[in-house]
Amino acid sequence: MNTRLQVEHPITECITGVDLVHQMIRSAYGHPLRLSQDDIQIRGWAVENRVYAEDPFKNFGMPSIGRLYKYEEPKSLSGVRCDSGIEEGSEISMYYDPMICKLTTYADTREEAIKKSVNALDHYVIRGVTHNIPLLRDILTETKFNEGNFTTNYLPETYPDGFQGVQLTPDESLELAVIASAMHSKEANRARQTLNNYVIKNEESNLDEFDLMVTVKGEDIPVHMTRDGARFVAKSGGKTLALLDNFQLSDSVVKATFDEKVSVVQLIGRQADGTLRIRYKGTALNVPVIPAHAAELRKYMKEKPKLDLSKVILSPMPGVVKAISVEIGQMVGEGLECCVVEAMKMQNSMKASATGKVKAINIKVGDTVEEDQVLIELE
């Protein structure tokens, strides 16, 4: 058995039509190969995305653990292959490799295979763990990658400050604001409905006009939303966008259909303060949506003080403490290793981010720790 089979075989099989696992099993039984080199023809292009339970915002991929309470693969799309060993309800633990699936797309050209990959990643539904789809999708739309002009130093060169999520243009921010406004209006009207009551007529209680303030990545976008038959018509900053009302809030994947384009998004959840968590272009974004008159009162709200994290060492992931390098009362300098946390076959050195004296050690070797748990405190 070729130990690298797990990495490359979907690509080879898609472009040659040869089942490598089948051939290996036949060879193990002593059967001769029925294929010669002349029988192997390469047709088209294939792109493989290794979908992992990792947080791409932490060093491009710190492991994440949890149970998949919702899991849907984009198998219904043409030219898409999914190789996975998990299903909805499976648990991603700290003891094994966190790979979820090898998502492979294939087409006649490289450009078309990449487009299919982007579409497949947008349709991939994973809830319960943090995953690396935001980074995968962003790379697929990045200029250097599409030009094929990159090296093994690609990630630090392309994201020198680390991966920050999708960077939106003004038009994309407005599009997301309109989608969020439509979802807000559907939620507001659903909350006004009364079921099994023949006295109250639901159709007369629906609201068809909303003045909203939507915040996208820190930018406030005013949206005037009206209902025009089977469409939502939104006006903002002199622009008008029409969004087809062809989705339900319970849909795992929403195909937001505008006049000239379709954007695939996912409504992950809604918070009590009106914030919608929407996956847009791969990245899950918190999008607060509130009535315009309520937005005017935000200036009176006090800001929460930010915690000083420079004097504490937090675990970046769930794991097991393998070593502690300091003791209480010891002076440590910035960058000094204080402990080591192991998770998913990787040992991670936890270093002090500031100079100080060790005030408390809240762990011991062998302890299982959670993400963001305080391991060591400095004075």
Confidence at 3, pLDDT banded by 50, 70, 90: low
CATH topology of domain 170-298: Glycoprotein, Type 4 Pilin (3.30.700)
Per residue in 257-299, pLDDT (tens digit) is 998 799 999 999 999 888 999 999 999 999 999 999 999 998 8
Q: In the numeric block, which tokens belong to residue 307? A: 């915690």
Residue 198 CA to residue 331 CA, distance in Å, equals 73
Q: Where are the alpha helices (DSSP H) in the chain?
A: 5-16, 20-28, 110-123, 133-140, 143-147, 154-158, 170-192, 202-205, 292-295
CA distance 63 to 94: 8
- Among 186, 205, 172, smallest CA distance to 244 is for 186
Confidence class for position 211, pLDDT limits 50, 70, 90: very high
| Catalytic status, residue 4 | yes
Q: How many Cα atoms sit within 13 Å of 110 on the Cβ side?
A: 6
Asked if residues 348 and 340 have their Cβ atoms less than 8 Å apart, the reply is yes
| Fold of the domain spanning 312-378 | OB fold (Dihydrolipoamide Acetyltransferase, E2P) (2.40.50)
* pLDDT value of position 198: 67
CATH for the stretch 44-158: 3.30.470.20
Cβ-proximal residues to 202 (8 Å cutoff; 6+ apart), any chain: 192, 193, 194
pLDDT surpasses 70 at 205: no
Give the Cα-Cα-Cα angle 29, 32, 38 (nearest 5 degrees).
140
- Per the prediction, the chain carries an average pLDDT of 90
pLDDT digits (tens, 9 = 90+) for 296-355: 998 898 888 877 788 899 998 888 999 999 999 999 988 889 999 988 778 889 988 888
pLDDT in tens, 223-262: 999 988 899 999 999 999 999 999 999 999 999 999 879 9
What are the pLDDT digits (tens) for 60-82? 988 888 899 999 999 999 999 99
Domain ranges of the chain: 44-158, 170-298, 312-378
201: pLDDT strictly greater than 70: no
Read off φ and ψ for residue 260, nearest 5 degrees: -115, -5
Beta-carbon contacts of residue 286 (< 8 Å; ≥ 6 apart) = 271, 275, 276, 277
DSSP reduced 3-state for 79? coil
The pLDDT-based confidence of 59 (bands split at 50, 70, 90) is confident
Q: Which of 4, 67, 192, 279 is catalytic?
A: 4
